[in-house]
């Protein structure tokens, strides 16, 4: 028994009815700086400090910055583990 495979052919013909345009979602605008709360200012200051601490953190959006910071913490933790292991080895020599 022989099976045949058919390929669907595509044409460059325009669609008979164009799809309706999508509605745009309203964009959320940042409040004026005078209405920033103390909490907002505190968060911004902490984000700026974190950007300085994390390598490659400058210019990252806060969500990406937090992911990068988490990776950096894991990296530092692994370095601590390696150094502790080396310290134990050299203590016994």
Question: Residues 74-93: pLDDT tens digits?
Answer: 999 999 999 999 999 999 87
Intra-chain end-to-end CA distance of the chain, in Å: 75
30 confidence band (pLDDT: 50, 70, 90): low
Q: Please state, for a pLDDT cut of 90, what percent of the chain lies above it.
A: 58
Q: Please state, for a pLDDT cut of 70, what percent of the chain lies above it.
A: 70
Contact between 68 and 56 under an 8 Å Cβ cutoff? The reply is yes
Q: What is the pLDDT of residue 46?
A: 97
Q: What is the pTM of this model?
A: 0.56
Query: Tokens 């959320």 map to which residue?
Result: 28
Which residues lie closer than 8 Å to 60 by C-beta, 6 or more apart?
51, 68
- Cα four-point dihedral sign 31, 32, 37, 42: positive
């Amino acid at each position: 028994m022989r099976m045949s495979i058919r390929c669907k052919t595509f044409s460059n013909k325009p669609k008979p009815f164009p799809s309706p345009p999508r509605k745009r979602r309203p964009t959320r605008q940042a409040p004026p700086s005078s209405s920033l709360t103390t909490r907002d200012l505190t968060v911004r200051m902490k984000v700026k400090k974190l950007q300085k601490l994390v390598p490659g953190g400058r210019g990252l959006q806060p969500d990406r910055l937090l992911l990068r910071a988490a990776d950096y913490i894991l990296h530092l933790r692994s370095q601590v583990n390696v150094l502790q292991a080396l310290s134990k080895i050299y203590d016994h020599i």
